[in-house]
Amino acid sequence: MTPLLWTLIAIQIAMGVFDTFYHHEFTERLAWRPSQRHELQLHGVRNLLYAFLFLVLGWLEVHGLFALLIIAVLVVEVVITLMDFVEEDLSRKLPPSERINHTLLAINYGAILVLLMPVLIGWAMQPTGIKSAYTGWLSIIAAAAAVGAALCGLRDFAAARRLGRMTIAPAKNLVEKLQGRQTVLVTGATGFIGSRLVAALAGAGHQVIALVRNPAKAEMFSPPITVITSLDQLPSDAPIDAVVNLAGEPIGNGFWTAEKRRKILDSRINMTGDVVRLIARLDKKPAVLVSGSAIGWYGLWQDQVLTESAKSHACFSHELCEAWEQAARPAGEYGVRVVNLRIGLVIGTEGGFVTRLLTPFEFGLGGPIGSGKQWMSWIERDDLVRLIAHVIARSDLSGPINATAPIPVTNAKFTEELGRRLHRPALFRIPAGLLRRFGGDFANELLLGGQRVLPNKALSNGFVFRHETLRSAFEAIL
């Protein structure tokens, strides 16, 4: 085997490692997405085949039938890769970086086959046998790659087996409070919360109008869900019973630079303004506008218990949420009941902040943030969808409503409970000073600060949480 061939194999290994850890583990988090079970099974088989190839080609020269076996393994690998391409297209939308990496992997693998197949064919023409082909550091690298590929394959099979035990409850049962057949407009319909709400409404037989700003994401919805890309597409005589406004730039996916703050604010205020203008021109007004907000409205209060009647402390989170709520209030001038849903930390495995913690915790690298004394007011995603349906159904509910579970926990308790559920230690504390140095207000308000929020209005108006405790929520989603 020539130095060029070994160079291409080394490049393939490097790109494969990048794809596995950056995409599969950290950004896409395939090991915790039930929809990706079959993809992980394909990855597992392919990784074990790679381990076999690295070990054989790095240490041995195989002739006759053994060379034919290696050729067969290479053909099987190509078939599995093609099946993987199909599975990925059917089950998820690949980010641009992963598509580029996959293309480069395919091109490089093709070059490897062009150089390797003549060698293997030559070996196949010789009498069947095996002889040592130790090449020093190249053989050692090949052995290391074989061990790594084998471990990744076993990891993929274990994750696929776990996903087989993770069941998602039917969504239609989450909106049973809504009577009759209602038409609901949902903005932010492709998001972590919005997608589950849309599935629940459509599954229960309600008419859903999903606003999807990115046409590429419209494929995730099919009839009877009506997909629009602009509110201007709705005629004035459109019959809409309720509007749920959840759209907005994510706040936790990057530091709060001046540009990021502007995007966060503008995305919410502009969309909410568009919703109010739609309501103004509709011949028949919807009964209710459920508009998103967050518990960041209260600012940072340390240990003080916060209900809907609490005051606020000035900070960017409060500025953002107050502007968002103010943008929704003019809808009340048209006789529409306005509810500002102050949402806490939403727990689920298909999105939200917990998904960023699962991989490091699973590998034993999780732990408290700073002192761990800051409060985390959370809500399980299905409970949030149920609360939205409850708010729509209850005509006596308006104004701010805390969308958090009744029992908030400290960050130390949260990490302890997550570690317990995953059977891993949670000992790697992240220093507060380090976070403040690099994260500024982002770290202070989202990671090191907190709010001890209670859902008084929801409880006093008859809403019953399925998951009052964090342990119950983790048992449901993990």
Higher pLDDT, 254 or 387: 387
The amino acid sitting at 82 is L
Please report which confidence band the pLDDT of residue 34 belongs to, taking 50, 70 and 90 as the band edges: confident
Structure tokens at 390: 């409850």
Q: Are strands 375-376 and 452-453 parallel, antiparallel or unpaired?
A: unpaired
Measured between alpha carbons, how far is 427 from 363 in angstroms, rounded to an integer? 12
Q: At residue 402, does pLDDT exceed 90? A: yes
Least Cα distance to 356 among 470, 471, 254 occurs for 254
Cis peptide before 224 (omega within 30 of 0): yes
Helix, strand, coil shares of the chain, percent, nearest 5, are: 60, 15, 30
Q: Are strands 375-376 and 409-410 parallel, antiparallel or unpaired?
A: antiparallel
321 to each of 98, 391, 401, how far by Cα in Å? 34, 19, 13
Q: At residue 442, does pLDDT exceed 80? A: yes
Please, which residues have CB within 8 angstroms of residue 158's CB and are 6 or more apart in sequence?
Answer: none
Site of tokens 């400290």? 410
Contact 369, 447 (CB under 8 A): yes
**Rounded to 5 degrees, what angle do the CA atoms 229, 380, 92 make?**
45
Three-state SS for 336?
Answer: coil
The amino acid sitting at 128 is T
Measured between alpha carbons, how far is 269 from 291 in angstroms, rounded to an integer? 11
The reported pLDDT for the residue numbered 89 is 86
The reported pLDDT for the residue numbered 2 is 83
Measured between alpha carbons, how far is 293 from 451 in angstroms, rounded to an integer? 14
Q: At residue 137, does pLDDT exceed 80? A: yes
Q: At residue 140, does pLDDT exceed 90? A: yes
Measured between alpha carbons, how far is 63 from 71 in angstroms, rounded to an integer? 11
Taking the CB of residue 429, how many other CB atoms lie within 10 A of it?
A: 15
Tens of pLDDT, residue by residue over 213-241, are 877 777 778 778 999 999 999 999 999 99
Distance of CA 405 to the CA centre of its chain: 21
Distance of CA 11 to the CA centre of its chain: 30
Tens of pLDDT, residue by residue over 327-363, are 999 999 999 999 999 999 999 988 888 988 998 999 9
Three-state SS for 104?
Answer: helix
Please report which confidence band the pLDDT of residue 26 belongs to, taking 50, 70 and 90 as the band edges: confident
Q: At residue 420, does pLDDT exceed 80? A: yes
Tens of pLDDT, residue by residue over 238-272, are 999 999 999 999 998 888 999 999 999 999 999 99
Contact 254, 260 (CB under 8 A): yes
Tens of pLDDT, residue by residue over 45-55, are 999 999 999 99
Percent of the chain with pLDDT over 70: 100
Measured between alpha carbons, how far is 414 from 382 in angstroms, rounded to an integer? 19
Measured between alpha carbons, how far is 322 from 318 in angstroms, rounded to an integer? 6
Measured between alpha carbons, how far is 446 from 164 in angstroms, rounded to an integer? 33
Contact 374, 430 (CB under 8 A): no
DSSP codes of every residue in 268-327: HHHHHHHHHHHHHH-SS--SEEEEEEEGGGG---TT-EE-TT-----SHHHHHHHHHHHH
Please report which confidence band the pLDDT of residue 170 belongs to, taking 50, 70 and 90 as the band edges: confident
Contact 389, 177 (CB under 8 A): yes
What torsion, rounded to 10 degrees, do the Cα atoms 211, 213, 218, 222 define?
Answer: 0
Strand partners, 87: none
Average pLDDT for residues 124-132, to the nearest whole number? 95
The reported pLDDT for the residue numbered 368 is 96
Measured between alpha carbons, how far is 431 from 279 in angstroms, rounded to an integer? 48
Higher pLDDT, 222 or 387: 387
**Rounded to 5 degrees, what angle do the CA atoms 30, 31, 34 make?**
80
Structure tokens at 47: 């990784």
Average pLDDT for residues 296-303, to the nearest whole number? 92
Please report which confidence band the pLDDT of residue 409 belongs to, taking 50, 70 and 90 as the band edges: very high
* Burial group, residue 224, by CB count within 10 angstroms (0-12, 13-18, 19+): exposed
Taking the CB of residue 72, how many other CB atoms lie within 10 A of it?
A: 10
The whole-chain average pLDDT of the chain stands at 94
Strand partners, 210: 186, 227
Contact 443, 367 (CB under 8 A): no
